[in-house]
Amino acid sequence: MNKVIEKYPLTCVTFGTVMFEIAKKRSLVSDRDQLRKLPFSTQRKIQELAAVKIKKMANVCVDTHCTIKTKAGYLPGLPDSVLKKLSPDVLVLVEATPDEIVQRRSRDTRARDVDDLDAIKEHQLFNRIAAMSYAVISGATVKIIQNSENKLEEAAADILDILKGED
């Protein structure tokens, strides 16, 4: 998103970071990866508090996950109550190929679960389904942008085209 922000007046926030800040203040977690292991009711409450905080910001882009994979299944990143608070105009799903995701995760320092290619493909499918479901509820459009290795400029240009179309 930094490439986009350089060229467009936008505040970009990461939904998970806002959630982490709220949960950490409440002494519920000590690192961000612990969020997805909290009870669902606690996660939902923190999601709603984060949405209220973000909604107060002007001209904002929210970086979030459509779904969060948990032991009990996929949790919506934007459940109805959160989606209504945010009321997005555009939903942009940024994807890489499953192979690229495996490569990127191998270089990551976060405490992630290890997923094989089939698990990543399934998660991407759930993300696409969730994005379209969010669009039905909010009236937002959905655009899928490829974030291929070494093609950051192209992905940023695609996002800028969408933002400029929203003016």
Across 55-73, average pLDDT: 86
Nearest to residue 144, comparing CAs of 157, 159, 133? Answer: 159
89 and 166 in contact (C-beta within 8 Å)? yes
Q: Per-residue confidence at 2, pLDDT binned at 50, 70, 90?
A: low
- Please report which confidence band the pLDDT of residue 5 belongs to, taking 50, 70 and 90 as the band edges: low
- Whether 130 shows a pLDDT value over 70: the answer reads yes
Match 């779904």 to its residue by tokens.
Answer: 67
In which residue are the tokens 């929203």 written?
Answer: 166
For the chain, counts of helices (H) and of strands (E): 7, 6
Domains, the chain: 2-165 (3.40.50.300)
Residue range 126-149: mean pLDDT, rounded: 92
Percent of the chain scoring above 90 in pLDDT: 41
Poorest-pLDDT segment among 47-51, 60-64, 77-81, 113-117: 113-117
Beta-bridged to residue 93, according to DSSP, are 144
Q: 78: pLDDT confidence band, cut at 50, 70 and 90?
A: very high
Over residues 112-131, the mean pLDDT reads 90
The per-residue pLDDT for 163 is 79
Judged on CB neighbours under 10 Å (0-12, 13-18, 19+), 38 is middle
Residue with tokens 């977690």: 29
pTM: 0.79
Q: Residue 167 has what pLDDT?
A: 46
Q: How many CB atoms lie within 10 A of CB 85?
A: 17
Strand-pairing partners, residue 76, are 67
